[in-house]
Amino acid sequence: SKRWSHVQKGPEDPILGVTVAFNKDTSPSKINLGVGAYRDDNNKPYVLEAVKKAEKKIFEANVDHEYAPIVGVASFNNAAAVLALGEDNSYIKEKKITTVQTISGTGALRVAAEFFGRFLPGVTAYVPNPTWGNHNVIFADSKVPVKSYSYYNPSNCGLNFEGMIKDIQAAPAGSIILLHACAHNPTGVDPTHEQWKKISQVCKEKEHFVLFDFAYQGFASGSPEEDAYAVRLFVEDGHLIGLCQSFAKNFGLYGERIGAFSLLANSAEEAAVLESQLKILIRPMYSNPPVYGARVVSSILSNKELTQQWRSEVKLMADRIIDMRTSLVKYLKQHGSTKDWSHITNQIGMFCFTGLTPEQVDRLASEFHVYLTRNGRISIAGITSKNVEYLAKAIHSVTK
Ligand SMILES: Cc1ncc(COP(=O)(O)O)c(CN[C@@H](CCC(=O)O)C(=O)O)c1O
């Protein structure tokens, strides 16, 4: 039959497609700097000890496999909100917040976007330029108009703060402003504390709705509290924020698809109304979320020792990333590069926006078997003490 003959073959995803190309490469010196997934110094995925201990407890508890509620595992939802907002947050204490478990961070963003499409009709979402590629598509597929605000300054590989403020001020009052809470993807450039205060003030003046994408808590600086600085500042300043959380990177639970979406409200009654509509939205989308990842995260965060173990491990991951940044710059200099690579160590989190052109990126793949996204973003986690010198030589070769 000709039923599907009109369907066109689509392109690979710009990020996940890099792994497809990497897997096809047979060179022993190939390096994958594409997908933002942590690897240890042996380039292996890292299963946290805290996760292994939690899994043992879950196994020994002989749990069943019944459905979770539409909103997910309650103990996880509460733990996720407490981790982001803090133990003594008044919205949590007064139940002026609704949190639903989602299919990881992507699912949190999609549920949020679908909710805005229904209840903020015609309101435009503003995302940073550049941002995680999926942001634009998630809003577009949810029928939420999406535009960009200036964010990155290519001339110094830093923040275009003036441009960001100007664009946020120029957006129609009450727009949706998406902010990366920490470890901006793809640039690795975060506002300073002072700049966050100004951004908060401008969003308040314009009565914008602020949606935080919080995909790397603990992973950026090594401190979950430091990484929550912007989120907690905005709540302090009175913003009733939306919050999308991913537990993929900071708990190493990528494939378990564990995330959360929270909305702060004026009252417990309003929070309950919002939750009722979130349930109506989720039910026909995926009905209810998978329980395993929620059980692992809530087992860890409800246990002092496991939480302490997690904190030390997320700091270990963050510190290794920071070490690789320093090491890459050292070898670039050692191998004769005279360019300014200070942005590699100034930037924070999983990614570095190198400034490499698409043509230089193509050469790294074809001549040196080094794979990264064409916008010049590298996932630092793909760098190890064994391949960092080879990488530095390759980057120097294509940039000299
Ligand atoms: C800012 C941001 N938000 C949300 C997500 C969604 O992560 P979940 O796995 O759905 O929780 C990512 C993951 N971005 C990484 C991982 C690969 C991908 O999904 O693109 C990346 O950009 O490489 C992200 O970087």
3-state SS, 232-261, equals: HHHHHCCCCCEEEEECCCCCCCHHHCEEEE
Whether complex ipTM tops 0.90: yes
Number of H helices, E strands in the chain: 16, 13
Structure tokens at 95: 């139940």
- Report how far residue 24's alpha carbon sits from residue 44's, in angstroms, rounded to the nearest whole number: 18
Share of the chain above pLDDT 70, in %: 100
DSSP state of 285: T
- Report how far residue 332's alpha carbon sits from residue 339's, in angstroms, rounded to the nearest whole number: 9
- The answer to whether the CB of 245 is under 6 A from ligand 1 is no
Structure tokens at 283: 């039910």
Q: What is the pLDDT of residues 136-170, one digit of tens each?
A: 999 999 999 999 999 999 998 999 999 999 999 99
Where b means 16+ CB within 10 Å and e means fewer, 199-229 reads bbebbeebebbbbbbbbbbbbbbbebeebbb
Q: What is the pLDDT of residue 27?
A: 96
Distance from the alpha carbon of residue 64 to the mean position of ligand 1, in angstroms: 30
> In this structure, are residues 204 and 226 in contact, taking their beta carbons and an 8 Å threshold?
no
- The answer to whether the CB of 348 is under 6 A from ligand 1 is no
pTM of the model: 0.97
Q: Is 57 a residue of the active site?
A: no
The SS3 of residue 204 is helix
The C-alpha angle with vertex 89 and arms to 83 and 91, in degrees rounded to 5, equals 110
Ligand 1: residue whose CA is nearest its atom 25: 185
Distance from the alpha carbon of residue 185 to the mean position of ligand 1, in angstroms: 8
Structure tokens at 12: 């690979």
- Which residues touch 258 (CB under 8 Å, ≥6 apart)? 76, 101, 104, 246, 247, 248, 251, 290, 293, 294, 296, 297
Selected catalytic residue, list 132, 196, 310, 341: 132
The C-alpha angle with vertex 85 and arms to 250 and 213, in degrees rounded to 5, equals 55
Q: What is the pLDDT of residue 133?
A: 94
Q: What is the pLDDT of residue 356?
A: 96
> In this structure, are residues 218 and 311 in contact, taking their beta carbons and an 8 Å threshold?
yes
> In this structure, are residues 111 and 102 in contact, taking their beta carbons and an 8 Å threshold?
yes
Q: Is 132 a residue of the active site?
A: yes
> In this structure, are residues 192 and 226 in contact, taking their beta carbons and an 8 Å threshold?
no
- Report how far residue 360's alpha carbon sits from residue 358's, in angstroms, rounded to the nearest whole number: 5
Ligand 1: residue whose CA is nearest its atom 3: 215
Distance from the alpha carbon of residue 282 to the mean position of ligand 1, in angstroms: 21
Selected catalytic residue, list 53, 190, 196, 213: 213
Distance from the alpha carbon of residue 217 to the mean position of ligand 1, in angstroms: 13
Residues of the chain short of pLDDT 70, as ranges, are none
Distance from the alpha carbon of residue 26 to the mean position of ligand 1, in angstroms: 27
- The answer to whether the CB of 215 is under 6 A from ligand 1 is yes
Q: Is 196 a residue of the active site?
A: no
Strand partners, 210: 177
Q: Are strands 152-153 and 158-159 parallel, antiparallel or unpaired?
A: antiparallel
- Report how far residue 388's alpha carbon sits from residue 113's, in angstroms, rounded to the nearest whole number: 39
